[in-house]
């Protein structure tokens, strides 16, 4: 996508049917990182939902994180917990513009058997450093998340927005979860596993990524997963490429492999454009396949863009993401809907095995989808994985006018603005959480769906600000970011 620096952040926020099979590419196609968030160790995956612009204690856009704890009846059915920087034991205090929860990632950082949650507050003022940013770890335990510890910024004052983005993974394969933290530079700080509640870690190193250094917004997203199946988490870094001077740059993703010493830029591999991505094993061959959402319209100058948006699929191999690529669009046979300008197909993506067949399935958000004359009501498409790609004939379409889904299609709701596939019911099959950050004038809303064993059941549970105990003041954007 060709964008000037003045508009880039605002904008950021080939299929063929063969025997009922939607084939996007051929070739050997690892499992995702597996860092799922069972914060209380009860065997059910929990869902952390952010409201990064929520008011806390009267402080506008201070931000909060709500945990929808998993249970046999789904995420948020039995227990909901909301945490902010005003919560007991959480470092710091809620302040206007902190954006606590703007980025989150789950991992067992201290090795106690409970998943923990790393939370970024990129707008946090650090001393006299305005918007220097911070990251904290909220600790898991038998009662859920409780207390927290600040992750020390090794270069406070040399950058802003520390804590945006975050990604947990075992980058050196030593069996301990590491934490990668971005800022407004083109470098990533990586902390080795071995975290303690007193603030120590197993070590720290810095990686300079191939993305273009443009102070203010260098790295948009980090996506962890084991593409080459070597037991070490690899990292997908999204940012700019282009000239070192001038007003215009292009979006690009770069694959950085894990190694015995951790993430390395040696062997970096450029991949298609698109801010949101995920890694999982679509064709069950043991290698991680990459999906990248290129939600921009074809007129955006983004390589690979299509009318209404597209999803690029990059197949993994033992040598990395070298197994070929393919493109999914709403005009591809077997995919619900029709490609229309502004649909934002691929704005959000999540991979998970919904039917338990060993093949990861794909949920795709199109929050800009107009339905029955209602602008930007939003829609989610669910495609099912197989040996050769996605099964077009089995695809599902979900929206708020689907029977069983709470609420109604309304202008600017943006159903599908955030997605997460994770096993909240503990049956070994992925369930789906859908965020509607635009619901009720940007209050936000989440709908939790469960797998019925073969597909996503359309009977959803709605969770809004009241259930989450999040203030309705301002524009909370509840449901705009999720992590398990």
Q: For residue 149, what is the domain's CATH number? A: 2.130.10.130
Per run of 10 residues, the mean pLDDT along the chain (length 484 residues) is: 29 28 30 64 97 98 98 98 98 97 97 97 92 97 98 91 96 97 95 97 97 80 97 96 66 96 96 95 97 88 84 96 94 91 97 96 98 97 91 88 96 98 97 98 98 97 98 97 90
Burial 460-473 (b: 16+ CB within 10 A, else e): bbbbbbebbebbbb
Residue with tokens 């063929």: 16
pLDDT of residue 246: 55
3 state DSSP class of 300 = helix
- Which of 208, 211, 184, 164 has the alpha carbon at shortest distance from 63? 164
Q: Of how many residues is the chain composed?
A: 484
Residue 287 lies in a domain: no
DSSP H or E stretch at residue 12 = helix 8-12
Residue 177 lies in a domain: yes
- For 172, 180, 232, the CA distances from 268, given in Å and listed in that order, are 16, 17, 15
Residue 68 lies in a domain: yes
- For 114, 450, 455, the CA distances from 72, given in Å and listed in that order, are 19, 10, 17
Q: How far apart are CA 72 and CA 250, in angstroms?
A: 45
- Which of 83, 29, 25 has the alpha carbon at shortest distance from 54? 83
**Count of domains observed in the chain:** 1
Q: How many helices (H) and strands (E) does the chain have?
A: 3, 31
pLDDT of residue 313: 96
CA quadruple 393, 399, 403, 405: dihedral, nearest 10:
130
Both tokens assigned to 139: 């600790």
Both tokens assigned to 438: 């635009």
Residue 166 lies in a domain: yes
Beta-bridged to residue 117, according to DSSP, are: 106, 138
Contacts of 408 by beta carbon, 8 Å cutoff, 6+ apart: 400, 401
Range of the domain at 52: 28-208
3 state DSSP class of 21 = strand
Residue 89 lies in a domain: yes
Helices (H), 325-475: 439-442, 465-468
Residue 161 lies in a domain: yes
Burial 108-120 (b: 16+ CB within 10 A, else e): bbbeeebbbbbbb
Both tokens assigned to 106: 């789950």
CB neighbour class for 441 (10 Å; exposed up to 12, middle 13-18, buried from 19): exposed
Residue 38 lies in a domain: yes
Residue 186 lies in a domain: yes
């Amino acid at each position: 996508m060709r964008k000037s620096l003045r508009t880039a952040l605002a904008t950021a926020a080939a299929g063929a049917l063969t025997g009922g099979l939607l084939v996007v590419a051929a070739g050997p196609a690892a499992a995702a990182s597996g860092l799922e968030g069972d914060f209380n160790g009860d065997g059910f995956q929990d869902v952390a939902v952010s409201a990064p612009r929520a008011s806390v204690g009267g402080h506008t856009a201070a931000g909060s994180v709500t945990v929808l704890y998993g249970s046999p009846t789904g995420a948020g059915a039995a227990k909901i917990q909301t945490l902010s920087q005003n919560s007991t034991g959480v470092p710091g205090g809620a302040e206007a513009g902190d954006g606590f929860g703007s980025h989150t990632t789950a991992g067992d950082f201290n090795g106690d058997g409970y998943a923990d949650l790393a939370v970024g507050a990129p707008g946090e003022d650090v001393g006299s450093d305005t918007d220097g940013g911070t990251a904290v770890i909220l600790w898991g335990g038998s009662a859920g998340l409780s207390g927290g510890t600040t992750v020390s910024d090794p270069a406070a004052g040399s950058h802003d927005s520390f804590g945006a983005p975050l990604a947990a993974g075992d980058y050196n394969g030593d069996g301990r979860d590491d934490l990668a933290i971005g800022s407004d530079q083109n470098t990533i700080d990586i902390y080795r596993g071995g975290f303690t509640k007193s603030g120590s870690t197993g070590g720290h190193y810095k990686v300079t990524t191939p993305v273009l250094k443009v102070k203010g917004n260098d790295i948009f997203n980090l996506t962890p997963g084991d593409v080459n199946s070597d037991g070490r988490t690899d990292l997908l870094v999204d940012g700019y490429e282009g000239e070192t001077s001038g007003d215009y740059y292009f979006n690009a993703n770069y694959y950085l492999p894990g190694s015995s010493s951790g993430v390395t830029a040696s062997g970096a591999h450029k991949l298609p454009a698109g801010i949101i991505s995920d890694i999982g094993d679509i064709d069950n061959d043991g290698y991680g396949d990459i999906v990248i959402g290129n939600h921009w319209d074809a007129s955006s100058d983004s390589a690979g863009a299509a009318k209404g948006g597209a999803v690029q699929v990059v197949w993994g191999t033992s040598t990395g993401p070298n197994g070929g690529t393919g493109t999914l669009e709403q005009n591809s046979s077997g995919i619900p809907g029709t490609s229309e300008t502004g649909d934002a197909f691929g704005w959000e993506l999540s991979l998970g095995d919904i039917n338990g067949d060993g093949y990861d399935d794909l949920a795709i958000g199109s929050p800009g989808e107009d339905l029955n004359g209602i602008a930007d009501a939003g829609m989610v498409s669910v495609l099912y994985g197989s040996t050769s790609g996605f099964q077009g004939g089995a695809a599902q379409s979900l929206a708020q006018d689907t029977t069983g889904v709470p609420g109604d299609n309304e202008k600017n709701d943006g159903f599908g603005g955030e997605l997460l596939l994770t096993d909240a019911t503990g049956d070994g099959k992925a369930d789906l959480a859908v965020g509607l950050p635009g619901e009720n004038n940007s209050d936000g809303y989440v709908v939790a769906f469960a797998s019925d064993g073969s597909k996503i059941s359309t009977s959803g549970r709605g969770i809004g600000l009241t259930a989450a105990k999040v203030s309705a003041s301002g524009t909370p954007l509840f449901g705009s970011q999720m992590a398990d």
